Structure 1
Amino acid sequence: MAGHASTGHGDTPRDVVRFYLLDHRTIVGKAIDIALLALNLVFVGVFVLETYPFSAQLQETFWRIEVAISLVFLAEYILRVYGAKSRVSEVFNAYSMVDLLAILPTLAVLVSPFPVVAANIGFLRAIRVVRVLRFYRFTQDEEFFFGTVTVGTLRVMKLLLTVLTIFFVAAGMFYSFEFRVNPGVSTFGDAFYFVVVALTTVGFGDIVPVTQGGRWVTVAAILAGIILIPWQASKIVKEWAHRDKVNVVCESCGLEYHDPDASHCKSCGHVIYQEYDSRE
């Protein structure tokens, strides 16, 4: 993130780990960001592909990729906890909890010595679709590995990410509940189609949830769309409404963002010494 000091000779191993996991500026920091972003896309993509009727050999390849990436994510999780200033806060951080939740079912299947138990746990592997929430880590501030974006652009990115996340997570969870018993849901694409139709209130009715879990996922997705999307959109509208304002803070009342030609605060009347070109 912006503002991180570069590592020096007096840094401890924890400081070095924390720096490079948060850094966007150095070559190493950018490489880590790009690698994690790519692995995240592959991890979610493998989940989608596994829902389609590919050959047993290809399914085995998907499984090996899933396990390999899960182990990388486990190592990253351990390093984040190790390097954090407050390890307790890092463990209970929402992003960290999502990261761990997404890989636990895969790791549980990997280490389970009992095929029956592994098969039952395997049902929970669809939870790894929540890994898409990890992309929010990359939108915590305006600085990215490819440069810096404006606040308005960042908020548009967050809105698009929110829409895709709701669709994707809801589709993944809906699929996990429905694919065994619902004849209309055999792949992730079927589940995604249903979620888009349901959330956009089109409601063709060709696919309907038949399990309690599927119904609750649908309800939760609709509520999330009603609450989160307008909330994110309102931030964009507010940013556009203030794009002609100058970010000057009134020393008297603390009001921010004044008109370009303002000399006094509109809230309290305090002189804010706003400079402007009289020719404009």
Structure 2
Amino acid sequence: MVLTKEPCIGLGIGFFVHGLFFARMFAAVPKEPGVRYMDRLRHYYPVSNYSAVSEICNAIYSLFSCVLVIADTYKTGSDKFLTISFTLDTFFCTFWFLNFFVGFYMASSKMRYLLSLQAFVDVVTVGPTFIILILDATSDSSENQVRDYEVLKIVRVLRLLRLSRTFDFLTSRHPQSGTSAVNIQFMKMILNLIVALMVLSGFFNFLVAQQDIDWGEGQGHLPFHTSMYFCVVAFTTVGFGDVTPPDALGRLIVIAMIITFVCLIPVQTARIAYLISIKPRYNGHVSIDKGSRHLILSCDDCGIPSAVVLLKEMTRHLDRALMPHVVLLIPCEASEAAKALILMIGGESAATYLRGDARSAQHRAAAHTRLLTAIRYRPPPLLPLRSAKDLARARLERATAVFIISDRFAADTTAQDGTALVRAVAVKQAAPDVRLFCLVCHAAAREQLARLGVAPAGVVCQGRIVQALAAHACTSPGFSTLLTNMITNSE
């Protein structure tokens, strides 16, 4: 048996290495009293380094898998090459196999996850490898093994579809990088085109090898550069005619390819046009009538869930007609969560989204580092942190109040508190008399805000609340149960 021993070794090593990685990830989830492990995992994993490493491995494995396909079009028939490539396949597939079940475990809706494109790609690209490995282990025919290996060629190319997910993840990890949503969408369109061309090129190569036909490069042989050249020529409707599909199946596939590209490009360009149309609105100013009230809510995109809770409480206790206009000052393009928040408040008539930050760009890094140190050791220095442009766009001088929110589910809550302190300094220097409210995670940040002149009643500290509840539970048994029942009944 040609392909049995080495792939099994790759399978064992893959499960050991990748299993250890995911086990460490599950063990690293921070403890939060009163919060279920599943909720903590769902909030921790997307912002942790484990998710970044996972997506980077996903991209590297997908690209390397495609490289194996390209190399195979120039070096075929070698048992050694088949063995090495199949061994690497099994190693890669152990990661995708475990990653699939981790995603399924964390999914809030299991059925929706199973019906998603991500799950489909996982099943289609991982399942055949394990099936072929089992079949080869029970078969003595090397011809069957090589034939099964040919099936993996198209499966490997399909793995490039994962790159779009990795690109979305990496761009969402750095929403403050300054790259606009228009540029991101344009790069995503280029990536989708490249992935589609690569997938189709691999498919045509697989088709030629399976049907043993001649497309102009020899019987049953089509190098990858030739298949890529054919796809580009066909897609651009140039049609030189030097490489042509001789059979009906190949021509039908070419027709489907052209129709797909004709539909794909307008959809992508329409998305770019939409982002261009809304860009002036997000980069504009707040239009508030004289005498009207408005409040400013400043946070990162990851802090939107906390903002949702805050605004829900406001709308619960205030009549919607008395609710002040809400200005969301967030340093990235409006995400789906931000749009949902605007709809919850009452639409664009009740809320305005501004892409900006209370921190000035030139002082963000230095001030952030100093204030992180200040949380632990000394009072924060009063640096010239005003971002006059963004604060003026939000009409800070006329604001009823400013809310600064830290994300309590972030992997580094101290960094979140440091960012909140920088924003508080900037707001206080720009408008000393404005009412400022802060939601922070640690008691040390609360003390620093008090030194800045923020009233203690305007600071909500999660760590202090947890400590107080624990103390009350010790002195008054049953207090935590009573409080839980009251909260449950109020909801």
TM-score, normalised to structure 1, is 0.76
Alpha carbons of structure 1 residues 33 and 145: separation in structure 2 relative to 1, 3 Å: farther
Is residue 126 from structure 1 mapped to residue 162 from structure 2 by the alignment?
no
Distance 1:138 1:255 in 2: 35
Distance 1:165 1:52 in 2: 20
After TM superposition, the structure 1 = structure 2 runs for residues 66-105 of structure 1, keeping only pairs within 5 Å, are 66-105=89-128
CA shift, 1:67, in A, is: 1.8
TM-score, normalised to structure 2, is 0.46
Is residue 135 from structure 1 mapped to residue 163 from structure 2 by the alignment?
yes
Alpha carbons of structure 1 residues 70 and 198: separation in structure 2 relative to 1, 3 Å: same
CA shift, 1:60, in A, is: 2.5
After TM superposition, the structure 1 = structure 2 runs for residues 9-158 of structure 1, keeping only pairs within 5 Å, are 9=32, 10-12=35-37, 18=42, 23=46, 25-53=47-75, 55-112=78-135, 113-114=138-139, 115=141, 117-128=144-155, 129-140=157-168, 142-144=171-173, 148=177, 149-158=179-188
Cα deviation, 1:235-270, whole Å, max 9, x if unaligned, reads 223323443334778999858999x9xxxxxxxxxx
Retained in 2: the 8 A contact 1:51–1:186?
yes
Query: What percent of counterpart residues are identical?
Result: 20
CA shift, 1:17, in A, is: 5.9
CA RMSD, 1 decimal: 3.4
Distance 2:230 2:65 in 1: 23
CA shift, 1:154, in A, is: 2.0
Equivalent AA in structure 2 for residue 35 of structure 1: C
SS of alignment partner, residue 61 of structure 2: helix
Distance 2:94 2:347 in 1: 52
CA shift, 1:155, in A, is: 0.8
CA shift, 1:28, in A, is: 2.4
Equivalent AA in structure 2 for residue 127 of structure 1: I
CA shift, 1:68, in A, is: 1.1
CA shift, 1:191, in A, is: 1.3
Distance 2:195 2:161 in 1: 7
Distance 2:350 2:233 in 1: 42
The residue number in structure 1 matching 2:250 is 214
Distance 2:237 2:349 in 1: 41
Alpha carbons of structure 1 residues 242 and 217: separation in structure 2 relative to 1, 3 Å: same
Equivalent AA in structure 1 for residue 268 of structure 2: Q
SS of alignment partner, residue 143 of structure 1: helix
| Unaligned residue ranges in structure 2 (runs of 5+) | 1-28, 287-341, 355-392, 396-491
CA shift, 1:18, in A, is: 4.7
Alpha carbons of structure 1 residues 18 and 56: separation in structure 2 relative to 1, 3 Å: farther
Distance 2:74 2:175 in 1: 34
Based on CA coordinates, which of the two structures has the bigger radius of gyration? 2
CA shift, 1:198, in A, is: 0.9
The residue number in structure 1 matching 2:4 is none
SS of alignment partner, residue 245 of structure 1: helix
- The alignment of Structure 1 onto Structure 2 pairs a total of residues equal to 255
CA shift, 1:98, in A, is: 1.2
The residue number in structure 2 matching 1:176 is 206
Retained in 2: the 8 A contact 1:174–1:213?
no
Alpha carbons of structure 1 residues 134 and 253: separation in structure 2 relative to 1, 3 Å: closer
Equivalent AA in structure 2 for residue 143 of structure 1: S
Equivalent AA in structure 1 for residue 87 of structure 2: R
Retained in 2: the 8 A contact 1:70–1:103?
yes
CA shift, 1:40, in A, is: 1.9
Distance 1:244 1:151 in 2: 12
Cα deviation, 1:94-151, whole Å, max 9, x if unaligned, reads 1111122012222222110234554443332133211111122134474136965431
Distance 1:82 1:109 in 2: 26
When structure 1 is superposed on structure 2, of 182-191 and 220-229 the one drifting more is: 182-191
The residue number in structure 1 matching 2:435 is none
Which structure is higher in strand share?
2
| Unaligned residue ranges in structure 1 (runs of 5+) | 1-5, 261-273
Alpha carbons of structure 1 residues 146 and 50: separation in structure 2 relative to 1, 3 Å: farther
Cα deviation, 1:206-252, whole Å, max 9, x if unaligned, reads 11113443223211211111111122112223323443334778999
Equivalent AA in structure 1 for residue 173 of structure 2: F
Retained in 2: the 8 A contact 1:133–1:165?
yes
Equivalent AA in structure 2 for residue 42 of structure 1: F
Retained in 2: the 8 A contact 1:17–1:80?
no
Cα deviation, 1:146-202, whole Å, max 9, x if unaligned, reads 965431122112211221122111111111112332253422222111111111112
Retained in 1: the 8 A contact 2:56–2:166?
no
Retained in 2: the 8 A contact 1:177–1:211?
no
Alpha carbons of structure 1 residues 171 and 19: separation in structure 2 relative to 1, 3 Å: farther
